[in-house]
Amino acid sequence: MGKTYEIVPEGGITAPKGFKAGGLHCGLKKTDRHDLGAIVCEVPAAAAAVYTTNLFQAAPLQVTRESLAEESVLRAVLVNSGNANACTGKQGEEDARTMRAELAEALGVPKHQVAVASTGVIGELLKMDRVSSGIAQLPAKLRGDAQGSDDFCQAILTTDLVKKTACVRLDVDGKTVTIAGAAKGSGMIHPNMATMLGFITTDAAISAALLQELLREATDVTFNMITVDGDTSTNDMVIAMASGLAGNRELSRDHADWTAFADGFRYVCRELAKAIARDGEGATKLIETTVTGAESDEAARAIAKTIIGSSLVKSAMFGADANWGRIIAAAGRAGVPLNVHTVDIRLGDISVLEQSRPVAFDEEAALEYLKGDTVAIHVDLNMGSGRAVAWGCDLTYDYVRINAAYRT
């Protein structure tokens, strides 16, 4: 049994050495909640990012891409909520550039070392006077403690109900390395990135190239395996920054502590992904779908995502209805081959289908289980060793309420 990571429940994105964060209300949200925030690193941090697959990419994504293309190094990430700055044409791009330049100047760093992210309504121009005055006040709000992390986390929320963070600690070369993350996302959430905003900080020494590979791999099995509503946003990205201040020898895939580090990194991504799914718009519960026995991991992923994305499955879970017919129907339309005679389905520990045949089960016990705040759906295809896990949430009255009048 190799070394592993330790979970730090109270840790936030400022826990790794070198990072400060903060947030404030500049006036983009109608409420008085924070709507502008930043993460700042006291040294140039090796940086990596993954972006939405939506063809309509918001202005801040273009600008962030340009920043990272320069030298894959970031000193700061600036985020606003309340307005996505998407489908805003040339003016929107100019606004994103202005945001980047203003924070760079306020911090005294090159502008290509600043990334920009936005989330909120599509198609409206940013109120730049408010944003600019907020940016001017932001440096004074930055803190290296839990409050700084908390303020930032509040600043990135839209319809989210809870702040989402995760943190782990592990030893690398006898030095303590910390990995932390923060995320937002509640609607327009769907596999293939395109999902939400995620920010990972670590004080490990790691090259930007390896950090990019790790982020991509981790995203595939975490952020890309969640869905709230099947919709893919124009704005979403995950950014990782490594300050290197932990003092470890630079990580490589051959490093003795690589596995522990990569596991810890994936843990942080997975916890954030699950937190987003659980906090899906209107959701009352987290649904975790595990598909095993598939011909390949890819086939398992397709089926897990189809089940977790099915409106009928999601509604049934809201109603605590053990309606496995909808689960098998979703599996059957996932677009991958399967043996229709060998499927097992369990809800938690309750077997409801074996070899594609209904099993008499205790409906009362199933109802009790499905009323819980976490539901595990396990589908075993009994064909091969392919495996995948996907996360989502139930479809509720509140999802409809929230989305029937989002702009108003």
Binding pattern to a copy of itself, positions 7-46, x when CB under 8 A? ----------------------------------------
The candidate with the shortest Cα–Cα distance to 377, out of 386, 362, 366, is 366
Which listed range, 63-71, 195-203, 215-223, 230-238, lies at the site for a copy of itself (CB under 8 A)?
Answer: 230-238
H/E stretch holding 133 reads helix 128-141
Q: Return the residue of 137, 256, 259, 332 that touches a copy of itself, per CB under 8 A.
A: 332
What are the structure tokens assigned to 293, written together?
């026995």
Binders of a copy of itself in range 86-105 (CB under 8 A) = 86-89
What are the structure tokens assigned to 111, written together?
């502008």
DSSP states of 38-87 as a string? Answer: EEEEEEEEEEEEEE---SS--HHHHHHHHHHHHHSEEEEEEEEEEE---S
Assign 213 to helix, strand or coil.
helix
Binders of a copy of itself in range 130-149 (CB under 8 A) = none
Q: Return the residue of 136, 312, 365, 376 that touches a copy of itself, per CB under 8 A.
A: 312
232 is annotated as an active-site residue: no
% helix / strand / coil in the chain, to the nearest 5?
A: 35, 30, 35
Which listed range, 38-46, 68-76, 292-300, 324-332, lies at the site for a copy of itself (CB under 8 A)?
Answer: 324-332
Least distance in Å: CB of 115 to a copy of itself? 21
State yes or no: residue 396 binds a copy of itself (CB under 8 A): yes
Q: Return the residue of 168, 237, 286, 316 that touches a copy of itself, per CB under 8 A.
A: 316
Binding pattern to a copy of itself, positions 70-89, x when CB under 8 A? --------------x-xxxx
Of 195, 222, 289, 396, the catalytic one is: 195
- Kindly tell me which of 98 and 315 has the beta carbon lying closer to a copy of itself: 315
Angle between helices 89-107 and 59-71 (to 10 degrees): 50
State yes or no: residue 311 binds a copy of itself (CB under 8 A): yes
Angle between helices 297-309 and 311-318 (to 10 degrees): 60
Taking the CB of residue 11, how many other CB atoms lie within 10 A of it?
A: 21
Burial (CB < 10 A; 0-12, 13-18, 19+), residue 363, is exposed
State yes or no: residue 194 binds a copy of itself (CB under 8 A): yes
State yes or no: residue 201 binds a copy of itself (CB under 8 A): no
* Cα separation of the two ends of the chain: 55
* Residues with active-site annotation: 195
Binding residues (CB under 8 A) for a copy of itself: these are 53-57, 84, 86-89, 121-124, 187-188, 190, 194, 229-234, 309-312, 315-316, 318-319, 321, 323-326, 328-333, 337-338, 340, 353, 356-358, 395-397, 399-408
